[in-house]
Amino acid sequence: MKSKDIIRKVLCLLLVVQMMALTSCSAQPDTSVQTSATQSSSETQTISYRDYNGTLKKSETVYVTLDANGSPTKTLVSDWLHADEANVRVEDQSDLTDIQNVKGDSSPKQDGQRLTWDMPGTDLYYQGLSDKQLPVSIQISYYLDGQSIQPQDLAGKSGKVKMEISLKNNQSHAVDIDGQSVTMYTPVMAVGGMVLPEETFQNIQVENGALLSDGAKQAAVFVSLPGLDESLGLSDLDIPDMEPFSFPETITVTADCTDFELGNMMMAMTTQIPQLDTLKVSQSLGDVKQNLSDLQDIQNSVTEMDPDEVLRSLLTDPEKTAGLQTLTDDLDTFHQLDTSLLDLLPQYISTQNINLVERLKKDVSASQLDQLLDSPFLNSLGGQLNNQSIQNAKRLLDDVAALQNIDIDQLDSILGSLGSADQLTALLQSSGHLADEIAAHPSALPTLQRLLGYSDDVQALANQLHDLTSSLADQGITLGEDEIHTMVSALVNQKAMEKLSAATGIESSKLEAILAVSPADMMGDDGIVPPSYRENVTLCIGLAASSDSQVAALQQVLTQQVQSGTVSAAFVPVVKQILSTVQDNLNTQLSQAGQMTDQVTAQILSLMQGAKSLEANIEDIGIQNIEDSIQFVETIMPSLSDLTSLLEQNKDQLSSLQKVLGDPQTMRYLQDTSSKLLTMKQDLDANAGNLQFVSSLLEHSNDPSLQAFVKMLPTLQKDLKDASPILRSLSQGMDNAQTRASLENSPETIATLLKMKVDLESNRQITDALTSIASPDTIDAASDAFSKLNDMMEENTVGQYLDTADTADLLLKKVNAYADLGQDNSIFTIAPEGAQTDVKFILKTAEIKKPEAVESAQSEQKDSSGIGAWFQNLFQKNK
């Protein structure tokens, strides 16, 4: 463990010394002006600049001032542009603000984020401010005697002090590694430190860093690569001894403190991670993986060839080894036997004979012989087939034929009538009520007939309404409230717009264009006026100037800026107010037209309401329906009078029929009986074929052959019953799947045995070789080899080595991708396409001083107690 701490401290020291030396030299950007740049204006005017087509190099240094908690308070960026030629015009890009040329008097031409520099020399330096988020966030926490405390409250205090510096990488990327998306962070190497005077800090402990001392002051220094562990997945890798090469993201400094004060903490960061040469390592690793894969394939082949370890057990299991030796002895014995009997078997065990046995078994099973022989019906069949029984069956068939002659249509009609008895009863009741009502109102029918005399006038009015509706529909006119309002609005708005155009002197179409676009669309907050809206804005300024003297005074300036397409920031609010006011005034004058439109529309709708209601009623009924209905009523009036007389004359008969049909018991009996007859007729029709078969069978009952067979049925039954045990035994044997399969395959089995006999005789040398393999010496050697192979497979030795190789291969790919991210993110701001860039960050925290020491500290040299100055003094003493 001690050696691991030493390795970490040595790495930390080397990196800190290198980065802090850079920090000491670049603690603040150089803002001095080169003498060569201060040429006279006459000399500058003689320089002719040409476009630069070479590769531009942009080196960026970001100076960040942090408060004592690590939060940025100011970010100053210094950019160094380098071209391979002088007197060139360079295209650059930057998102900085307050850009200044710090070593020359030339200024860039700026178009948004695009900068154009004229470079009399090959180098140009400029700086500016940025509010972008840093690639790494820093948080510094302070504790006094185990309690959290703010840095300003810690000043001047004494006790056990702990400072935690946490770094968090903010720039994540989705990187493809072997087809999988892996989250990786921009490589950032951060080194830093703080000076801890011995008179203030004692018993200093630095976790995840190193403590250096020159005898008077001590320095806590650290190195961190925030995001490295997540990017490479180091915590998930099962690789021994990785801890010394880890770079934690939290550094803790503890000490016993008296009158706490702390100078500036200094940190430097860079995204330039050295590119590692992993090609040879990857190639060697690939060879190792291939060899291990080949070895695993051999193991797999052995397993696939002998998955149950039967072959291996023949050489490793003593019992099976003895069995192998016995088999080889049996092979030797077989060669000495007389096998001529095998040649006779194919003559008796043939496929034809086997098929015959199989067919017999199936027939016996299908006939259900046992059940048939024991059937009471079969035993009594001979006594049932006598002359009397045959004659009775013939008479029964005659009765069936009579039932089949029933007229099913007539029967169905009767059932249908009986099914509607309730409706007939209701009809009779309604007829009686109708006769009573007509008798009670004798003058109703004459009055109705008289009213029909005015039908021509009603019909004429209906025709006029129908013609009016059809005429409007033919013209495509639908006079609803929206349509009337639209027509009136169009007329009134047209007149109002013409009046407004005459008053302002501006064409109606241009006034409509002004009102159709919002002020925000005509001019943005940045003062940009699109070309299509410049005339609109100019007209609005003119209208405002005609009634406002202040706008009139600015009219010419505003108009010129609008026509140029950009309004200066100072006049943007003025122009926006003019646009809004002009639109409000125009809309106010036009709003009066809307009120007039509503009034006229309401009057027209009131006039049309009555006509619309009448037209709707007529249209709902239909003119033709009205005419047909009037004609129909006139036609049926005589018949209605006759019907009234008939109902009155037959009132008693209707009442009697109603009582008959209203008796539920009588109607239910008729319905049930009729339904049963209908069902019987349908069943007989459905069994016509069966009845025909029975009739044919009875006709042949006198056949001598059939009579002789009936007489022999008892004898045949006894013979079959005596043979049933044999048939049953055969059937049960054939039901056994193994027996049946063996019987079916017996011809092939005999043929195979004969072929085996020939093969054994013709391959005597191979059987002799098997005998040799079964010798004790060969078995001992094979047993030892398989034992070692089994140990490797059980411990998965090859698989473990392959997993380790895969892990190492994946780590190499992540390392390469991680380094590439540093190359792809080598700028903090932005740069033109194709430029070579690099970036470094210099960060400095605010000092923490006791209140009485603040005034005196301001008079001291700025970096006299800083970590950078301390490093310089440390190395000067060692010279």
- CA–CA distance from 813 to each of 178, 289, 343, 454, 821 (Å)? 9, 15, 72, 104, 12
- Greatest mean pLDDT among 393-397, 496-500, 669-673: 496-500
218-234 burial, b if ≥16 CB within 10 A, otherwise e? bbbbbbbbbbbbbbbbb
Residue with tokens 């004494």: 158
Q: Above 50 in pLDDT, residue 73?
A: yes
Write down the pLDDT at residue 375. Answer: 64
- Greatest mean pLDDT among 50-59, 235-244, 668-677, 795-804: 50-59
- Using alpha carbons only, give the angle 301, 760, 303 rounded to the nearest 5 degrees: 10
Write down the pLDDT at residue 371. Answer: 62
DSSP state for residue 528 in the 8-state scheme: B
pLDDT band for position 874 (cuts 50, 70, 90) = very low
Write down the pLDDT at residue 25. Answer: 46
- Which strands form 136-144's sheet, in the order they lie side by side? 147-149, 136-144, 159-169, 250-257, 201-207
Sign of the alpha-carbon torsion through 489, 495, 500, 501: positive
Give the Cβ contact number of residue 763 at 10 Å: 11
pLDDT in tens, 362-396: 665 655 556 655 666 556 655 656 666 667 766 77
pLDDT in tens, 325-349: 787 777 777 767 766 666 666 766 7
Higher pLDDT, 655 or 150: 150
Higher pLDDT, 455 or 752: 752
Q: Above 80 in pLDDT, residue 311?
A: no
Amino acid letter, 306: D
Instruction: Give strand pairing partners of 460.
Output: none
Q: Above 60 in pLDDT, residue 873?
A: no
Mean pLDDT over residues 66-83, rounded?
Answer: 97
Closest-CA residue to 222 (of 64, 26, 11): 11
Write down the pLDDT at residue 22. Answer: 45
* Cα distance between residue 520 and residue 527, in whole Å: 10
Give the Cβ contact number of residue 164 at 10 Å: 16
CB neighbour list of residue 599: distance below 8 Å, 6 or more residues apart: none
Give the global pTM: 0.44
Dihedral of CA atoms 205, 207, 210, 212 in degrees, nearest 10, equals -20
Write down the pLDDT at residue 273. Answer: 73
Mean pLDDT over residues 555-567, rounded?
Answer: 91
Phi, psi of 596 (to 5 degrees): -65, -40
Dihedral of CA atoms 91, 97, 100, 106 in degrees, nearest 10, equals 40
Q: Above 70 in pLDDT, residue 618?
A: no
Write down the pLDDT at residue 188. Answer: 93
Sign of the alpha-carbon torsion through 185, 188, 189, 193: negative
Residue with tokens 């006791």: 850
Contact 85, 118 (CB under 8 A): no
pLDDT band for position 455 (cuts 50, 70, 90) = low
Instruction: Give strand pairing partners of 97.
Output: 129
Residue with tokens 């015959």: 356
Q: Above 80 in pLDDT, residue 527?
A: yes
Mean pLDDT over residues 841-848, rounded?
Answer: 96
- CA–CA distance from 104 to each of 35, 36, 59, 455, 737 (Å)? 9, 8, 17, 109, 105
Write down the pLDDT at residue 27. Answer: 47
pLDDT in tens, 177-200: 989 999 999 999 999 999 999 999
* Cα distance between residue 365 and residue 360, in whole Å: 9
* Cα distance between residue 722 and residue 369, in whole Å: 12
Mean pLDDT over residues 446-456, rounded?
Answer: 65
Write down the pLDDT at residue 24. Answer: 45
Q: Above 60 in pLDDT, residue 461?
A: no
95: which 2 tokens? 């998102």
First-to-final CA distance of the chain: 33
Q: Above 90 in pLDDT, residue 795?
A: no
pLDDT band for position 287 (cuts 50, 70, 90) = low
Closest-CA residue to 44 (of 116, 119, 110): 119
What percentage of the chain exceeds 70 in pLDDT? Answer: 60
* Cα distance between residue 649 and residue 626, in whole Å: 34
Higher pLDDT, 793 or 837: 837
Give the Cβ contact number of residue 582 at 10 Å: 24
DSSP secondary structure letters along 708-732: HHHHHHHHHHHHHHHHHHHHHHHHH
Higher pLDDT, 766 or 854: 766
Q: Above 70 in pLDDT, residue 465?
A: no
Q: Above 60 in pLDDT, residue 282?
A: no
- Greatest mean pLDDT among 111-125, 391-405, 495-509, 805-819: 111-125
- CA–CA distance from 806 to each of 295, 774, 802, 819 (Å)? 16, 42, 6, 20
State the pairing for strand pair 88-93/50-51.
parallel
Three-state SS string over 806-851 comes to HHHHHHHHHHHHHHHHHHHCCCCCCCCCCCEEEEEEEEEECCECCH
Write down the pLDDT at residue 733. Answer: 64
Write down the pLDDT at residue 266. Answer: 95
pLDDT band for position 875 (cuts 50, 70, 90) = very low
Three-state SS string over 588-644 comes to HHHHHHHHHHHHHHHHHHHHHHHHHHHHHHHHHHCHHHHHHHHHHHHHHHHHHHHHH
Q: Is 335 exposed, middle or buried (0-12, 13-18, 19+ CB in 10 A)?
A: exposed
Write down the pLDDT at residue 260. Answer: 96
Q: Is 64 exposed, middle or buried (0-12, 13-18, 19+ CB in 10 A)?
A: buried
Q: Above 50 in pLDDT, residue 761?
A: yes
Q: Above 60 in pLDDT, residue 17?
A: no
Give the Cβ contact number of residue 795 at 10 Å: 10
Higher pLDDT, 507 or 661: 507
Write down the pLDDT at residue 248. Answer: 87
pLDDT band for position 95 (cuts 50, 70, 90) = very high
pLDDT in tens, 562-601: 999 999 988 999 998 999 998 888 888 887 777 777 777 7
Contact 192, 266 (CB under 8 A): yes
Report the SS3 class of residue 189. Answer: strand
DSSP state for residue 274 in the 8-state scheme: P
| Radius of gyration in angstroms for the set of CA atoms belonging to the chain, rounded to a whole number | 58
Contact 514, 536 (CB under 8 A): yes
Dihedral of CA atoms 526, 530, 535, 536 in degrees, nearest 10, equals -70
Q: Is 61 exposed, middle or buried (0-12, 13-18, 19+ CB in 10 A)?
A: buried
Higher pLDDT, 615 or 601: 601
* Cα distance between residue 51 and residue 503, in whole Å: 56
Mean pLDDT over residues 247-275, rounded?
Answer: 90
